[in-house]
Amino acid sequence: MKRLYAILAALFLMSSYAAAQVVTERCWHLDRVQFLAHKQDFWRSHRLYSTSSRPYTGIAGGFYSITEGHYGFGLEYKNTPFSHHYAGITSIFGWRSGSGLALGGGTGFMMYDFGLEGQESGWMLPLIIDARYFIGKQKNKFFIMADGGFLFNFDNFKEHARYFLNPAIGIAIPLTRSTSLSFSAGLFTQYDYDFFGRDVGIRDSFVNIKLGLLFGR
């Protein structure tokens, strides 16, 4: 009988221990779930967990516009009009795809060789075709671009009209979800090779920088 009592007591103790383990594990699991739920609610209440408050890093695609201020200085001194330096402003409107490719067109106003004695100064009206490719999905996006088009001067259309090409590299730094600060640097080259049947062609190159605001996601 003593041996039977000992066996029963051992079984009782083992079953009590197993039951205690199950209760302990269930309580620990319940406490962990409640803790995680409370933690998640805390971050959401402080706008740190919610995806709506995270910085926007992707490219949604859609219409965009960019307004930029320009400054360029000639690579070499030439005694030809509109070849020493220029400054201006342009606006581009277009479409940007989700892959990062953006295509647009626009116009602006550019002043050449202002403030120089003995150098003819004047203005140009550009008609621009703009292509850009934004690289990667990081917050600050690098891009490569190429502008091209025509430059018109209606005071002396035949003598001063040009066509141009402006490849550049740059970076767009987001300020808000739909606005970025854009900076780029490149080579602006304007041509007039027999544009109106003249015998002498003109090519002027400038190192140019642009600073602007990019609107659109």
Rounded Cα distance, 120 and 155, in Å? 13
Residue 51, pLDDT > 90, answer no
Q: What average pLDDT score do residues 153-165 get?
A: 81
Q: pLDDT of 187-201, one tens digit each? A: 999 987 555 555 555
| pLDDT for 49 | 40
pLDDT band of residue 158 (cuts 50, 70, 90) is confident
Mean pLDDT of the chain: 78
Rounded Cα distance, 113 and 83, in Å? 7
Residue 175, pLDDT > 80, answer yes
Task: Please give the model's pTM, rounded to 2 decimal places.
Answer: 0.67
Q: Minimum mean pLDDT among 27-31, 95-99, 100-104, 206-210: which range?
A: 27-31
| pLDDT for 150 | 93
| pLDDT for 171 | 96
Q: pLDDT of 99-130, one tens digit each? A: 889 999 999 999 998 877 777 788 899 999 99
Rounded Cα distance, 174 and 59, in Å? 12
- Sequence-separated (6 or more) residues with CB below 8 Å from residue 156: 122
Question: What angle (nearest 5°) sits at the alpha carbon of residue 65, between those of residues 135 and 52?
Answer: 65
Torsion sign (Cα): 24, 26, 29, 32: negative
The rounded radius of gyration (Å) of the Cα atoms in the chain is: 34
